[in-house]
């Protein structure tokens, strides 16, 4: 037991500080990806319910592609594909400068694209759950389309979509483990390095399991509080 505690300590001989750093990277990546995925997903949902056929087609293609591709493949396409694309663009402009894509940014974009494709379906279902009369009522009292969306539709949309988005957040939290394959020092990468160096795979991967479970429990508590806050105006049944 003392040996295990020494391996997990924050001292120079322990791996605790590296693991704590990995937890910070995992949480930072998930929190950075969330607003990006929500924003893109919201506009994709708007496109999919638009009266313009071109926008509906573009939204459907977007969700079909990024819901159909494995998350790991999307990550590779963004990380390696973007570097190749930028390099070719620079060569076409006569520059031989080499640019390397930041792994955190690549992970955020890739996971954001996947998250947005699923969140768009949640938003779309929420839009369809709001009666058309809500829009017409806003227009009838003189509100513009933007004001109607901001003051009437969005508060209801968030409350309806919140359970589905909460599930997607939990999935996103787990999907951050994929970024370890492109060199980002998250929980999985740090515990994996420690396991290989110390030959204590069960110990360090067990710690990784406990850390992800702890993050999931904390997320569940936060989500429960948000759900309670969002439902505070509901009439008692």
pLDDT per residue over 190-206, tens digit each? 999 999 998 888 999 99
Q: With 80 as the cut, is the pLDDT of residue 168 above it? A: yes
pLDDT per residue over 95-123, tens digit each? 777 677 889 999 999 999 999 999 999 99
Confidence of residue 130 (pLDDT cuts 50, 70, 90): confident
Show me where the domains of the chain are located.
2-230
Quote the mean pLDDT of the chain: 88
Residue 141, token pair as written in the block: 């009292």
2-230 to CATH, choices 3.30.43.10, 1.10.3720.10, 3.30.450.20, 2.130.10.10: 1.10.3720.10
Confidence of residue 237 (pLDDT cuts 50, 70, 90): very low
Q: With 70 as the cut, is the pLDDT of residue 67 above it? A: yes
Task: Using alpha carbons, select from 166, 220, 216, 176 the residue that is nearest to residue 26.
Answer: 176
Mean pLDDT of 63-90: 88
Res 234: pLDDT:
58
From CA 29, how far away is CA 23, in angstroms rounded? 10
């Amino acid at each position: 037991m003392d040996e295990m505690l020494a391996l997990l300590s924050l001292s120079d001989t322990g791996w605790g500080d590296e693991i704590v750093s990995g937890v910070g990277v995992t949480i930072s990546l998930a929190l950075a990806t969330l607003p990006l995925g929500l924003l893109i997903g919201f506009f994709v949902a708007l496109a999919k319910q638009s009266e313009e056929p071109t926008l509906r087609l573009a939204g459907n293609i977007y969700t079909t592609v990024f819901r159909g591709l494995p998350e790991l493949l999307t990550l590779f396409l963004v990380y390696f594909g973007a570097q190749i694309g930028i390099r070719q663009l620079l060569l076409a402009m006569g520059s031989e400068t080499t640019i390397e894509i930041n792994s955190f940014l690549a992970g955020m974009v890739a996971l954001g694209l996947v998250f947005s494709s699923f969140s768009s379906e949640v938003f779309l279902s929420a839009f369809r759950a709001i009666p058309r009369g809500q829009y017409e009522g806003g227009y009838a009292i003189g509100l513009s389309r933007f004001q109607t969306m901001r003051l009437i539709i969005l508060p209801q949309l968030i409350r309806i979509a919140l359970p589905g988005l909460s599930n997607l957040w939990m999935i996103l939290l787990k999907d951050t483990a994929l970024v370890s394959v492109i060199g980002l020092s998250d929980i999985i990468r740090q515990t994996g390095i420690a396991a290989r160096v110390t030959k204590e795979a069960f110990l360090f991967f067990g710690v990784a399991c406990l850390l992800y479970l702890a993050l999931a429990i904390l997320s569940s508590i936060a989500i429960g509080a948000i759900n309670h806050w969002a439902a505070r105006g509901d009439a008692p049944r």
